[in-house]
Protein backbone atom coordinates (compact mmCIF):
# COMPACT_ATOMS: atom_id res chain seq x y z
CA UNK A 1 0.00 0.00 0.00
CA UNK A 2 1.47 3.37 -0.91
CA UNK A 3 1.96 6.06 1.74
CA UNK A 4 -0.93 8.27 0.60
CA UNK A 5 -3.44 5.41 0.71
CA UNK A 6 -2.08 4.21 4.05
CA UNK A 7 -2.52 7.67 5.61
CA UNK A 8 -6.02 8.12 4.17
CA UNK A 9 -7.16 4.73 5.48
CA UNK A 10 -5.73 5.45 8.93
CA UNK A 11 -7.34 8.90 9.12
CA UNK A 12 -10.69 7.68 7.84
CA UNK A 13 -10.69 4.87 10.40
CA UNK A 14 -9.82 7.20 13.28
CA UNK A 15 -12.44 9.75 12.25
CA UNK A 16 -15.09 7.05 11.82
CA UNK A 17 -14.39 5.81 15.36
CA UNK A 18 -14.71 9.31 16.81
CA UNK A 19 -17.82 10.33 14.88
CA UNK A 20 -19.69 7.04 14.79
CA UNK A 21 -22.66 8.35 16.79
CA UNK A 22 -22.53 11.94 15.53
CA UNK A 23 -25.10 13.45 13.19
CA UNK A 24 -24.11 14.52 9.69
CA UNK A 25 -24.21 18.16 10.79
CA UNK A 26 -21.99 17.42 13.80
CA UNK A 27 -19.50 15.68 11.51
CA UNK A 28 -19.47 18.78 9.29
CA UNK A 29 -18.89 20.85 12.44
CA UNK A 30 -15.87 18.68 13.18
CA UNK A 31 -14.09 19.94 10.06
CA UNK A 32 -12.50 23.04 11.68
CA UNK A 33 -11.34 20.86 14.59
CA UNK A 34 -9.83 18.34 12.19
CA UNK A 35 -8.09 21.12 10.25
CA UNK A 36 -6.63 22.56 13.47
CA UNK A 37 -5.42 19.12 14.54
CA UNK A 38 -3.79 18.51 11.15
CA UNK A 39 -2.10 21.93 11.28
CA UNK A 40 -0.69 21.04 14.70
CA UNK A 41 0.57 17.68 13.45
CA UNK A 42 2.21 19.36 10.45
CA UNK A 43 3.95 21.86 12.71
CA UNK A 44 5.16 19.11 15.05
CA UNK A 45 6.54 17.11 12.13
CA UNK A 46 8.29 20.17 10.70
CA UNK A 47 9.78 20.87 14.15
CA UNK A 48 11.03 17.28 14.34
CA UNK A 49 12.56 17.55 10.88
CA UNK A 50 14.35 20.76 11.85
CA UNK A 51 15.57 19.19 15.10
CA UNK A 52 17.06 16.36 13.00
CA UNK A 53 18.98 18.97 11.02
CA UNK A 54 16.91 19.04 7.83
CA UNK A 55 17.04 22.32 5.94
CA UNK A 56 14.09 24.59 5.22
CA UNK A 57 14.73 23.86 1.54
CA UNK A 58 14.34 20.09 2.02
CA UNK A 59 11.24 20.48 4.17
CA UNK A 60 9.68 22.97 1.77
CA UNK A 61 10.33 20.65 -1.15
CA UNK A 62 8.33 17.89 0.54
CA UNK A 63 5.52 20.32 1.35
CA UNK A 64 5.45 21.65 -2.21
CA UNK A 65 6.09 25.25 -1.13
CA UNK A 66 9.04 27.63 -1.28
CA UNK A 67 11.75 27.68 1.36
CA UNK A 68 10.69 31.20 2.30
CA UNK A 69 7.05 30.15 2.68
CA UNK A 70 8.02 27.20 4.89
CA UNK A 71 10.20 29.38 7.09
CA UNK A 72 7.53 32.06 7.33
CA UNK A 73 4.82 29.54 8.23
CA UNK A 74 6.79 27.36 10.63
CA UNK A 75 9.95 29.21 11.65
CA UNK A 76 8.65 31.49 14.37
CA UNK A 77 6.07 29.03 15.62
CA UNK A 78 8.79 26.39 16.05
CA UNK A 79 10.62 28.71 18.42
CA UNK A 80 7.44 29.34 20.39
CA UNK A 81 6.59 25.62 20.61
CA UNK A 82 10.15 24.83 21.61
CA UNK A 83 10.00 27.44 24.38
CA UNK A 84 6.68 26.02 25.57
CA UNK A 85 8.13 22.50 25.65
CA UNK A 86 11.08 23.85 27.63
CA UNK A 87 8.76 25.60 30.07
CA UNK A 88 6.68 22.43 30.44
CA UNK A 89 9.81 20.42 31.24
CA UNK A 90 10.86 23.00 33.85
CA UNK A 91 7.39 22.95 35.42
CA UNK A 92 7.45 19.14 35.51
CA UNK A 93 10.85 19.13 37.23
CA UNK A 94 9.62 21.72 39.76
CA UNK A 95 6.50 19.66 40.46
CA UNK A 96 8.57 16.50 40.91
CA UNK A 97 10.96 18.28 43.27
CA UNK A 98 8.04 19.61 45.33
CA UNK A 99 6.62 16.11 45.69
CA UNK A 100 10.00 14.77 46.73
CA UNK A 101 10.28 17.11 49.72
Backbone region of residue 53 per phi and psi (left: phi > 0; alpha: psi in -120 to 50; beta: other values): left
CA proximity to 51, closest of 12, 87, 78, 88: 78
Tell me what pLDDT residue 14 has.
Answer: 87
Spatial separation of the C-alpha atoms in residues 48 and 40, rounded to whole Å: 12
Q: Domain boundaries in the chain?
A: 3-100
Residue pair 61/70 in contact (Cβ under 8 Å)? The answer is: no
If pLDDT is split at 50, 70 and 90, which confidence band does 97 have?
Answer: confident
Report pLDDT digits (tens) over 26-78: 989 989 999 999 998 998 999 999 989 999 999 999 999 999 999 999 987 66
Tell me what pLDDT residue 63 has.
Answer: 95
CA of 63: how far to CAs of 43, 57, 75, in Å?
12, 10, 14
Report pLDDT digits (tens) over 78-96: 666 666 666 666 666 667 6
The C-alpha angle with vertex 63 and arms to 41 and 32, in degrees rounded to 5, equals: 40
H helical segments located in 1-101: 3-18, 24-29, 31-51, 56-63, 67-100
Amino acid sequence: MDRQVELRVAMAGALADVGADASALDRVGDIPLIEAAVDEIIAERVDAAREQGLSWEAIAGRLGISRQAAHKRFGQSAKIRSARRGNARIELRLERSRRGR
